[in-house]
Amino acid sequence: MIGAATLAAALALVIALPLHAQRAAPAAPRSIDVYEKSMAELQAEMDDGRATAREIAAAHLARIAAYDLAGPALNAFITLNPRALDDADALDRERRERGPRGPLHGIPIVVKDNYETADLPTTGGTVALAGFRTGRDAFLVKRLREAGAVILGKTNLHELAAGIITISSMGGQTRNPYDPARTPGGSSGGTAAAVAAGFAVGGLASDTCGSIRIPAANNNLVGLRGTLGSSSRTGIIPLSHTQDIGGPLARSVADLALLLDVTTGADPDDPSTRAVGDHPPFRFHASLDRAALKGARLGVLTNYFGTAVEDEEVNLIVRAAIETMKAQGAEVVNITIPGLDDLLAQSSLITLEFKTDLANYLANFPNAPVRTLQEILDRGAYHAALEATFKARNAAVPEAEEIRKVEVRRASATALVRAAMDEHRVEGLIYPTLRRRPVVVEEPQRGTTCQLSATTGFPAMAMPAGFTTDGVPIGLEILGPAWSDARLVSLAYAYEQAVRPRRPAPTTPALVNGAVPPPVTFTVALRPAAADARGAATARFEFDPVSGRLAFELPADAIAASIHRAEPGIDGPVLHRLINPAAPKSAGTITLPPYQRPLLNDGTLYLSVQRPSGRTTAPLRIAATPTQGRR
């Protein structure tokens, strides 16, 4: 465990060193609780003097030290900003002298490392670009700085954004804070893991085919892939100029709306955004409406629900979320679009555009350490997991006729979707973001539905649908017609207000006085069912909320003992065996998986102990006033 003294001793070191050398982060001058707090809550605390931007930034850096560099070691970052606290200090002075710039003033934000930053390297997750500096901010980064956001650091991504499990030669494998054995999705998995784990309040991502939406789904977050052209791509390392778009991720729709109000809009240097001026401003935050689902007519896109056994769990979770929308007043109809799957299957331009787009981008910088994808391959400057992808895309020959055929398919798919929505008079199509749960690291992710929005250019709002039985987040999307972005965000807001689907990640709990929470000791009284109390005994436990380790001391005469899941009216099944009859011991240690750790607080688990005097059961729950600290 990292103690408060250890954390404070490493205060000045963390943000001055490369990430591989960082081991701790600045502790706040006073104890500031930032756990799961929204932008509005933090802004209110700064307004009335309960917190400063510096203290809020330092508290988030302390969480990074505790849980990204240690603890579950989520590995969300490639680099941290060595001037983050200085930037926060400057914003505090400005607040005192002139007042806040707006709702993002002093709010900690993270940036995916395919966005250019003038003061930090931009690597795209590849060692081929280690140390590469462009000397400028991407358009969206510039907009965030102008709004007063504090950039804490650059997050890991699937190398050069070329996949959806977030592994790279520069950043390694990022892990999901809800289950570190699983991936956070990608390619914006570092941003998603950071926001979900409370390392920042929001973050910048990008989406070429699902890279905003899949990480949102896998991390119980919200994210919008906007109408193509609604958000600038200037300063983002390209994957496919036809499909790329930038955008934020957040824990709540209100926070997302505040970020979208800053990041959407025309950019003179990005011709794709010219159409923004032909439409009224989105005004995302002002458009939020708790009653938005009432009277909304939505279509369930049956094409996009899986039919394999492995898809059933996600189908049930998403359809349950749809029932909630209906309960909030939405009219929902099933829609099947014949021929859509075939059109979408060959409508991606990533393979045809990546090699050329990357070379054209790097040609703008005389200091670029590499110039082409071929050079990256020749140097072996890529993660082994990307080898097949990079070789295939480098071998692609982007002939004009082949590109034209794909463009025709894209136009046909767009027309087909638009016609289906018009025919059924729906303002949005609902479907799972992924047909299957997030995979464990090193496994390929199946079941993506990302291409529908990427092909049509229509906006798609990703939002939480629920959790699997073992606590893994599942997401759904609502896709609407072009320029319906604000309406989709408002629909998600109405759903969020009704369901409150946000659930904190169990592996990154609140810090205690700036340090990781210490182990908690508690006891469970074992009282026999009979009136004779001679069989009464006590079981003792120590729970480490960060690692999930549960140490136990049972009565010495215990023959068998187990932890069960409580079920209404019946004895629930065994989750953990505590005594091995082949080598019986009354003391030991088990590790609770992440999803079971919060259950120690709500009475969902119970202890069963078999002794010569009989079997006794009791709720396994941390007491209201437990003892904290090691035995």
Q: Is 190:174 a contact under the CB 8 Å cutoff?
A: yes
Which one of 169, 188, 206, 211 is the catalytic residue? Answer: 211
Measured CA to CA, the distance from residue 29 to residue 88 in angstroms comes to 13
Give me 191's structure tokens. Answer: 């941003």
Q: Say which residues have a Cβ less than 8 Å from residue 552's Cβ, sequence separation at least 6.
A: 539, 540, 541, 561, 578, 587, 588, 589, 590
**3-state secondary structure at position 202:** strand
Helices and strands, number each (H, E), in the chain: 16, 22
Contacts of 270 (CB under 8 A, 6+ apart): 139, 232, 233, 234
Tokens matching residue 185: 């999705």
Is the peptide bond preceding residue 347 cis, with omega within 30 degrees of 0? no
Residues 6+ apart with CB under 8 A from 489: 224, 253, 256, 257, 260, 284, 287, 288, 461
CA 71, 74, 78, 80 torsion: positive or negative?
A: negative
Q: Which two tokens stand for residue 322?
A: 């749809």
Catalytic residue among 187, 188, 230, 252: 187
Token pair for residue 267? 């950019």
The secondary structure of the chain in percent helix, strand, coil, rounded to multiples of 5, reads: 35, 20, 45
**Dist CA 475 CA 436 (whole Å):** 10
CB distance 246 to 270 below 8 Å: no
Cα dihedral value 610, 613, 619, 621, nearest 10: -80
Instruction: Locate all alpha helices (DSSP H) within 99-168, ordered by sequence.
Output: 139-146
252 catalytic per annotation:
no
Phi, then psi, of 378 in degrees rounded to 5 = -60, -35
- Token digits of residue 431: 């479907």
Rounded CA-CA distance 614/552 in Å is 20
- Please give the angle made by the CA atoms of 174, 595 and 628, to the nearest 5 degrees: 100
- Strand 428-432 relative to strand 473-479, pairing: antiparallel
**Measured distance CA(517)–CA(499) in Å, rounded:** 29
Two structure tokens written together for 286: 């002002």
Active-site residue, 240 included: no
Determine the Cα–Cα distance for residues 457 and 208; give it in Å rounded to an integer. Answer: 10
562 is catalytic: no
Nearest-angstrom CA–CA distance, 545 and 541: 12
Pairing of strands 108-112, 202-206: parallel
Report the DSSP beta bridge partners of residue 327.
none
Greatest distance between any 2 Cα atoms in the chain: 88
Gyration radius of the chain's alpha carbons = 25
Q: Which residues are catalytic?
A: 112, 187, 211
